Amino acid sequence: MQRIAIVCVATLLGASALAAKHKLVIDGVVDDAAWAKAQVFRDFVVVEPYTLAQPTHPTEALLLSTPQGIAIAFRCSQPAGVPRLKSRTPRDADIPGDRVNVFMDFNGDGETAYNFTIALSDSIQDATITNENYYSPDWDGDWQHGVAQTDDGWSAEFLIPWTVASMKGSGTPRRTIALMFDRVLGHSSERSGFPAASFTRPRFVSEYHKVEIQQYQASAFHVFPYISTSYDLVGNAGDGKAGADLYWKPSGDLQLTAALNPDFGQVEADELVVNFDAIETFFSDKRPFFTENQGLFDLRTPDNGLLIYTRRIGGPRDDDGAGAAEIDVALKLNGSALGFDYGVMTAQESQYASDIGSLFYAQRLLRTGENFSVGYLGTWTDRPFLDREGLVNAVDGNWRANEQWAVTGQAIFSGIDQPDGDKDGAGLWTRIDYTPNPAWRQELELTHFDRELDFNDMGYQRRASLNEAEWTGENQQTIDDETSLLRGKIWRLELQARSNDSGDRLPDVLVLDHTLQFRDGSEVLLDFYRESSGYNDLIARGNGLVRLPARNQYYAEYESRRIGRWQFELAGRIYQEGLDGYASEARAELAFFASDTLTADGSLSFTDSDDWLIWEQDTLFARFERQQLTTEVNLNWFPAPRHEVRVKLQWLALAAQDARPERIGAGGDLQPSTDVIEDFTVNNLGLQIRYRWEFAPQSDFYVVYGRGGFIELQDDRSDFGELLDAALSLRDSDQLLVKVRKRF
């Protein structure tokens, strides 16, 4: 027995030593013995521009399934004479240099994919891709990465844990995934990939290459407690908060995410926006709870709608109180069973019991097949302060008939219970994509939203009452002549015929784009946009139709390649707005790469208009001469690994002068009126200085200083110099925030 025990111990020790020997070390050097068993992919072709030609420099990708996770490696040939661009960037920021990407659909059903990017600088991006090609960088996953360089190229390694996302059928020994590898040459912007798929085309995720790999069981339980303290330098008051996020994944088929007293204070700065339009501004959401496994709930509609808009939760209070609504608790359950993917999400705002906060609930069910998917989404929102409940039910479908044809659609039904009368609405839309060959693609989209459709309580809806037929055609031309400055051209034509649900003709639209792609990586876009005459039924906020004349717009944009330490973009636009006037806009962006760890960029945009039309009240409008200046400066510094300093300064100034009052007259035509309207100015300033230290995986220490202010002055004719002097003294908010979030 003793001899047997010794043999067993020796066997276990030997197996342990063998496992340790073959365990991957993710350092970017593709030399571990385990890589010898990897699947190898070498058939890369150029996919941006979409020429399908042989890449300038070859790339090799390796795929390996391990108990640690799914491992991917790249070997990139790049001789010493070819520029290597490797500036550090913040996580999820645009990477203006050499990089490699892995796009992975863990279920292989074409519904949701995850993008993992490693730059030559070892900066990273990650994102989710839904609705075939909708890219959202808001999600941050937990995965390992490494980069190494040699004289003749560079290499990168990824290790993506089995717990990074929900995966149905996680109990089987093998699974089929779909993936795409691609590589971008920073100096020329050439993108090569395998297979020949591109996110610029109507079908992307469903075009990935399917492979079968060995599957390993994995589970995870993490708690992310946080503590934050802030000091208001305006009110001379401090505040502290504590709470936790919980993440439990007993298997790939089930995941529970919870947030208790979450801190959704901004460590990410939104862009400054001054909106005089009837349609609200859309903002993305970086809050961890709402980005984790959110792809199942990501249902989009034509006209840039979204059935679940997570910024509604913890957004502006219904009682118009100061600040955003606080959230007591939020729960999300994702899983798969019996061939279905399912999800449930709920969140309760503070003071819901006292009829001030709101309650949100959503449920999702999805069935996917080899070339189709059918799903259901239901949402319910209770807003007691407004005595309003909103219910939305939607059925969606996607049929990929073959490589050329794809059909997508939704039926949406809404019901609103409110004091001034209940209303029930419906919407239906379908999109048909036809791609006969790599050079041509066409898309036909038909939409009907009736006048009572309303999914804004938990979603984002730009408008109801819409009937629209939209056709888009695109042709891409490849230029094979190596002596030509151009490597490709793209022509795109879009036609829209629109009316509201009452039969009023909205302006028809024609858009013609022409893109010139140069071999050095630069690009020129030329755009012509025309609206026919027609009614605007939103601008008066329910006070009548406004008839607008036909209007044209001309736009040009040039994006340079990287020139030494510099890169720039220039754009100009001339367009008609108002009733008979013109506006011009010029924009310039400049980036300076001082070193691999220090970059700065800035933008300046100036608009000059002689006929800016805005709504004042009821049937009253004003036409102004407007000048608007928008500036932004960003500085990113990486003093040491995992340490980041960011400065973001934004200023927006607007001067509206020489007001001409108008009122809605017969037939919706605007007529001069005797009303008195004053000139006004708008001044908006935002500054954020942020230090971030990632002291452990998914664990961060933040110190954030933020200051901002907004003021609108009537009967003011200040010039931009005076507005800048005034902006520097704006101080509606002035706050210092310290936050620690640790993963256990």
Q: What CATH number is given for 534-744 in this structure?
A: 2.40.170.20
Our CA dihedral for 434, 435, 436, 441, rounded to 10 degrees, sits at 100
Residue 16 has pLDDT above 50, yes or no: no
Cβ atoms of residues 84 and 96 within 8 Å: no
Amino acid identity of 216?
Answer: Y
Residue 8's pLDDT is what?
A: 39
DSSP single-letter state for residue 27: S
**Cα(583)–Cα(255) distance, integer angstroms:** 52
Number of residues written out for the chain = 744
1: pLDDT strictly greater than 80:
no
| Unique residue bearing structure tokens 């219904």 | 318
pTM listed for this prediction: 0.89
Break the chain into its structural domains and give their ranges: 2-214, 534-744
Q: Which residue has the tokens 């036809």?
A: 434
Q: Which residue has the tokens 């961890």?
A: 288
What is the distance, to the nearest Å, from the Cα of residue 302 to the centroid of all Cα atoms in its chain?
16
578-620 confidence digits (pLDDT tens): 898 899 999 999 999 999 999 999 999 999 999 999 999 999 9
Give the model's pLDDT for residue 22: 55
Q: Which residue pairs from 667-672 have beta carbons closer than 8 angstroms and sit at least 24 positions apart in sequence?
A: 667/547, 668/535, 668/544, 668/545, 668/546, 668/547, 669/547, 670/546, 670/547, 670/579, 670/613, 670/621
The radius of gyration computed from the CA coordinates of the chain, to the nearest angstrom, equals 27
What is the C-alpha separation between 575 and 190, in angstroms, rounded? 33
503: left (phi over 0), alpha (psi -120 to 50) or beta: left
Q: What is the pLDDT of residue 264?
A: 58
Region 666-691: mean pLDDT is: 94
Q: CB 566: neighbour CB atoms within 10 A?
A: 11
Instruction: Tell whether the model's pLDDT for residue 681 goes beyond 60.
Output: yes
- Residue 697 CB partners (closer than 8 Å, separation 6+): 142, 743
Architecture label for domain 2-214: Sandwich (2.60)
Assign 370 a pLDDT band (cuts: 50, 70, 90). Answer: confident
Closest CA to 661 of 617, 628, 711, 607: 617
- CA neighbor of 390 nearest in space, from 357, 418, 427, 411: 418
Rounded (5°) CA angle 123-129-133: 115
pLDDT of residue 303: 87
Instruction: Give the C-alpha separation, 599 to 557, whole Å.
Output: 23
Q: End-to-end CA distance of the chain: give it in Å, rounded.
A: 42
User: Mean pLDDT, to the nearest integer, of 160-173?
Assistant: 89
Say how far residue 532 (Cα) sits from the centre of its chain.
Answer: 31
Q: How many helices (H) and strands (E) does the chain have?
A: 3, 42
φ, ψ of residue 375 in degrees (nearest 5)? -140, 165
Mean pLDDT of 497-524: 95
Report d(CA 511, CA 517) in Å as an integer: 19
Under the banding of pLDDT at 50, 70 and 90, the label for residue 515 is very high
In terms of pLDDT, which residue wins out, 446 or 169? 446
Max CA distance (Å), the chain: 108
**Predicted confidence (pLDDT) per residue in 623-634, tens digit:** 999 999 999 999
Q: How much of the chain exceeds pLDDT 90, in percent?
A: 74
Rounded CA separation 271/623 (Å): 27
Count CA atoms within 13 Å of residue 732 on its CB side: 14
Instruction: With a cut of 80, say whether residue 363 has pLDDT above it.
Output: yes
* Residue 21 clears pLDDT 70, i.e. is over it: no
Domains 2-214 and 534-744 belong to one CATH topology: no
How far apart are alpha carbons 153 and 688 in whole angstroms? 38
pLDDT at residue 427 is higher than 50: yes
State the average pLDDT over residues 318-339: 88
Nearest 5°: phi and psi at 291?
-105, -20
